[in-house]
Amino acid sequence: MSKTALITGASSGIGAVYARRLAARGYNLILVARRAEKLSALAAELEQSDGIAVRSLAADLTAEAGIASIEQVLRDEAIALLVNNAGMGPFATTANMSDADAAATLTLNVTTLMRLTRAVLPGMRARKSGTVVNIGSVMGFFPSPMSALYSATKAFVLTFSRGLAEEAAENGVLVQAVLPAGTVTDFYETAGISIDNFDASVFMTAEQLVDAGLAGMDRGEQVTLPSVHDEDLWASYDAARAKLFAGTQNGQPAPRYV
Ligand SMILES: NC(=O)c1ccc[n+]([C@@H]2O[C@H](COP(=O)([O-])OP(=O)(O)OC[C@H]3O[C@@H](n4cnc5c(N)ncnc54)[C@H](OP(=O)(O)O)[C@@H]3O)[C@@H](O)[C@H]2O)c1
């Protein structure tokens, strides 16, 4: 029997490519985003090209009703793969960002990702199989002006995914954080800045990004950095993180503070 994958933010960019690639792998799909017409067009295309079943669910994942409706699907159905991809990052200083944009960014990138993950996990744990792919960002470890809030939400995605990966592994469930760097999508126009303002040489295509993400998933990776060529960079960064934590575990203030 075919497995089912649910992808948020499937109406464009990285999510739409995940839909295409997972369709080619034989998954039935549930596509989620606000733009119903884009989802329907993609669904029709993939049903035709790959002979799979596709359901489109139009939902605003910053609104309680939208989040709750997708949580229900994730609880009721045997979802084999959840791709938490929907995300936004308005290009503005935190002080200048509208209240609505700030709230939506936090809800979509953090609360919704957490809620959908919590909704799908019990079933996966009971079935002792399943995969949750959380799309983070390299900005999650590189806070910078104009992206302070976005970077913080993506830091959440990485930290949450890593802890969850350890919790879920004992039940045969893989939690993978995929951390894109620059990827050519509508993300920047939606964020309020033309992609032309950035150095084109640091961008890959959404197809390259998703293919690397899926290759990482096939390798069972808990953290995938598609654009990092030197694997030692992550290994040494992670080792420094563990060393720093170990350095906090001594119960005494450091001499410079006493
Ligand atoms: N592009 C990059 O350089 C880059 C780098 C690092 C990380 N990322 C991450 O990659 C993920 C995908 O982004 P992308 O680059 O593919 O950008 P994108 O083309 O703008 O796609 C964003 C997707 O999220 C959906 N979405 C946005 N707000 C939503 C809402 N309120 N409710 C439901 N769906 C919503 C959009 O669909 P609707 O508008 O139809 O709702 C769209 O399908 C994001 O999490 C982003 O942070 C991107």
Choice from 18, 106, 185, 202 to test ligand 1 binding pocket (greatest atom count within 8 A of CB): 185
pLDDT band at 130 (very low <50, low <70, confident <90, very high): very high
Q: Please identify, by atom number, the ligand 1 atom nearest to the C-alpha of residue 9.
A: 43
pLDDT for position 247: 98
Pocket of ligand 1 (CB under 6 A): 9-15, 33-35, 38, 60-62, 85-89, 108, 135, 137, 180, 182-183, 185-187, 190
C-alpha radius of gyration, the chain, whole number: 19
Give me the mean pLDDT over the 71-89 stretch. 98
**Domain span at residue 247?**
4-257
Phi-psi domain of 169 (left: phi exceeds 0; alpha: psi -120 through 50; beta: other): alpha
Could you write out the DSSP letters of every residue in 1-21?
---EEEEESTTSHHHHHHHHH
Please state the separation of Cα 27 from the chain's center in Å.
19
For this structure, is 188 an active site residue? no
Mean pLDDT of all residues belonging to the chain: 97
The CATH number given to whatever domain includes residue 209 is 3.40.50.720
pLDDT for position 2: 87
Cβ pair 70, 59 in contact under 8 A: yes
Number of residues assigned to the chain: 258
- Closest by CA to 124, choosing from 80, 76, 165, is 80
Rounded Cα distance between 147 and 89, Å, is 7
pLDDT band at 1 (very low <50, low <70, confident <90, very high): low
Q: pLDDT tens digit string along 134-159? A: 999 999 999 999 999 999 999 999 99
Q: Which helix (H) or strand (E) holds 156?
A: helix 148-169
Does residue 91 have a pLDDT over 90? yes
pLDDT for position 20: 98
Give me the mean pLDDT over the 102-131 stretch. 98
Give me the mean pLDDT over the 216-227 stretch. 98
> How many structural domains are present in the chain?
1
Task: Output the CA torsion sign for 168, 206, 200, 151.
Answer: negative
pLDDT band at 206 (very low <50, low <70, confident <90, very high): very high
Cβ pair 174, 168 in contact under 8 A: yes
Please pick, among 18, 27, 150, 188, the residue that the annotation labels catalytic.
150
Q: Please identify, by atom number, the ligand 1 atom nearest to the C-alpha of residue 62.
A: 31
CA of 133 to the centre of ligand 1 (A): 14
Helices (H), 31-143: 36-50, 64-76, 99-106, 113-127
pLDDT band at 202 (very low <50, low <70, confident <90, very high): very high
